Amino acid sequence: MSEDIKKTISELHIYEKKLLKELEANPEATPSQIAESTGMDIKSVMSAAGSLASKDIIEMHKDVQKIYSLTSDGLEYAEHGLPERRILEVLAEKKEISMKDLSKEAGIDKKEAGIALGWLRQKNWAQIDQGVLNITELGKEFADKAGVDEKVLDYLKANADGVKLFTDDLLDGFKKLTGRKNILNVKKETSHSFKILPKGEEILKIGFTIKEQATQLTHEHLKDGEWKSLEYRPYDINAEAPLVFAGKKHPLREIIDEIREIFLNMGFVEDNGEYVESAFWNFDSLFQPQDHAAREMQDTFYLKNPLTCDLPDDALVKLTAETHETGADTGSIGWQYDWSEDIARQSVLRTHTTGISTKHLFEHEPPIKMFSVGRVFRRETFDYKHLPEFHQVEGLVCGEGISYQNLLGTLKEFYKKLGFEVRFRPAYFPYTYLSTESEIYLEEKGSWIELGGAGMFRPEVLKPLGINQPALAFGMGIERLAMIRYDVEDIRMLYKSDIKWLREVPIDRGVRL
| SS (HEC) of 410-473 | HHHHHHHHHCCCEEEEECCECCEEEEEEEEEEECCCCEEEEEEEEEEECHHHHHHHCCCCCEEE
| CATH code for the structural domain at 3-62+190-232 | 1.10.10.10
The rounded distance, in Å, linking the Cα atoms of 453 and 99 is: 74
Ligand-binding annotation for 300, yes or no, is no
CA dihedral 258, 262, 267, 271 (to 10 degrees): -40
User: Residue 431, annotated ligand binder?
Assistant: yes
Gap between the Cα atoms of 471 and 403, Å rounded: 8
Question: Residue 512: its pLDDT value, please?
Answer: 42
Give the CA dihedral 21, 55, 6, 193, nearest 10 degrees. Answer: 10
Q: What is the structure's pLDDT at 511?
A: 42
Tell me: is residue 353 an annotated ligand-binding position: no
**3-62+190-232 and 252-502 in the same fold:** no
Query: CA torsion 219→223→225→227, rounded to 10°?
Result: 10
Q: What is the pLDDT, as a whole number, of residue 59?
A: 92
Spell out the residues 6+ positions from residue 216 whose beta carbon is closer than 8 angstroms to its own: none
The answer on whether 317 is annotated among ligand-binding residues is no
What is the topology classification, in CATH, of domain 72-182? Answer: Arc Repressor Mutant, subunit A (1.10.10)
Domain 252-502 annotated CATH 3.30.930.10: yes
CA 371/CA 473 separation, integer angstroms? 9
The mean pLDDT values, 10 residues at a time, for the chain of 513 residues are 77 86 89 89 90 90 87 84 81 81 77 80 85 82 83 83 80 81 86 90 84 78 82 72 85 93 95 94 93 76 94 94 94 94 95 93 95 92 84 95 95 91 91 93 82 94 95 92 88 88 74 41
Task: Answer yes or no: are the C-beta atoms of 360 and 457 closer than 8 Å.
Answer: no
Task: Give the DSSP per-residue string, 281-339.
Answer: HHTGGGT--TT-GGGSTTT--B-SSS-B-----HHHHHHHHHHHHH-TTTTS----S--
Residue 394 among known ligand-binding residues: yes
pLDDT value of residue 298: 57
Sequence-distant (≥ 6) Cβ neighbours of residue 497 within 8 angstroms: none
For the chain, which residues make up each domain, given as ranges? Answer: 3-62+190-232, 72-182, 252-502
Residue 163 annotated as part of some ligand binding site: no
Report the alpha-carbon distance of residue 425 to residue 452 in Å, rounded. Answer: 11
What is the spatial distance between Cα 301 and Cα 10, in angstroms, rounded to a whole number? 72
- DSSP code per residue over 332-399: S----S---HHHHTBEEE-S-SHHHHHHHHHHSPSSEEEEEEEEEE--PPPBTTB-SEEEEEEEEEE-
